[in-house]
Structure 1
Amino acid sequence: MKDNLVVEKRQRIQGVMLGLVVALIWGGYLAVSRHAIVDGFNEYELAFLRYASCSVVILPLWLFRCHQYFNRPQEQTLVILLGRSLVLAALAGPLFVIVGAGGYHYAPLAHGAVIQLGSVTLGSAILAAWCLNQRLGRSQFFGLLILLAGLLSIAGPAILEGGSNAWKGDLLFVFAGCLWSVFSTLLQRWKMTPITAVMAVSFLSTLSYGSWFLTVYGTSWLKHSWDALFEVVAVQGVASGILAVYAYARCVQLLGSANAALFAALAPACAMLLGVPLTGEWPTLGQWSGLIVVSMGLLIALRKNSK
Structure 2
Amino acid sequence: MSVHTPHPPRFSPRSIGLAAAVVTVLIWTSFILIARASADPARGGVLTPLDLAFCRIVGASLILLPWGAWLVRQDRAQGLHGASWLGVSPLTAGITVKVGIFGGLVYAMLAYSGFAYAPALHASVLMPGSLPLWTALLAAWLLRDRITPTRAVGLGLIVLGDLLVGGLSLLRAFDGGQVWLGDVLFMSAAMCWATYSVLARHHGLEAVRATIAITTLAFVVYVPSYSVLVLSGLVNGHVFTAPWRDVLFQATFQGWGSVVISGITFTQMIRHFGPVRSTMITALVPGLSALGAVVLLGEPLRWNLAAGLTLVTAGILFGVRASLPNALKKVAASA
TM-score, normalising length from structure 2? 0.82
Equivalent residue in structure 2 for 1:67, among 43, 57, 73: 73
In the alignment, what sits opposite 2:57? 51
- CA drift at 1:169: 1.6
More relative contact order, 1 or 2 (CA 8 Å, 6+ apart): 1
In the alignment, what sits opposite 1:34? 36
Identify if the C-alpha distance between structure 1 residues 112 and 242 changes in structure 2 by more than 3 Å, giving closer, same or farther.
same
Which is further off, 292-301 or 209-218? 209-218
Q: What runs of 5+ residues in structure 1 fail to find an aligned partner? A: 1-8
- CA drift at 1:77: 4.0
- CA drift at 1:188: 0.4
User: Letter of the aligned partner of 1:96 in structure 2?
Assistant: Y
SS in 2 for 1:118: coil
C-alpha contact 2:131 2:194 (8 A) present in aligned 1: yes
SS in 2 for 1:35: helix
- CA drift at 1:227: 4.4
Equivalent residue in structure 1 for 2:211, among 189, 195, 198: 198
Q: What runs of 5+ residues in structure 2 fail to find an aligned partner? A: 1-10, 86-90, 232-236, 326-335
1:217 aligns with 2:230: yes
1:273 aligns with 2:291: yes
User: Letter of the aligned partner of 1:101 in structure 2?
Assistant: Y
Whole-angstrom distance in 2 between the partners of 1:62 and 1:255? 26
C-alpha offsets along residues 227-248 of structure 1, whole Å, 9 cap, x if unaligned?
4334422321111111111011
C-alpha offsets along residues 131-163 of structure 1, whole Å, 9 cap, x if unaligned?
112101221111111111211222222112232
User: Letter of the aligned partner of 1:200 in structure 2?
Assistant: A
1:1-307 pair list within 5 angstroms: 10-38=12-40, 39-78=45-84, 81-161=92-172, 162-163=174-175, 164-218=177-231, 220-276=238-294, 279-307=297-325
TM-score, normalising length from structure 1? 0.89
Q: Which has the larger radius of gyration?
A: 2
C-alpha offsets along residues 17-49 of structure 1, whole Å, 9 cap, x if unaligned?
322321221111111111111214222111110
User: Letter of the aligned partner of 2:324 in structure 1?
Assistant: S
Whole-angstrom distance in 1 between the partners of 2:187 and 2:120? 14
Give the aligned CA root-mean-square deviation in angstroms: 2.2
C-alpha offsets along residues 65-122 of structure 1, whole Å, 9 cap, x if unaligned?
1211222343444477221011111111132111111122322211122112222210
Identity of matched residues, %: 24
- Whichever structure has more helix as a proportion of its residues is 1
Identify if the C-alpha distance between structure 1 residues 59 and 75 changes in structure 2 by more than 3 Å, giving closer, same or farther.
closer
Tell me how many residue pairs correspond in the alignment.
Answer: 299
User: Letter of the aligned partner of 1:287 in structure 2?
Assistant: L
User: Letter of the aligned partner of 2:198 in structure 1?
Assistant: T
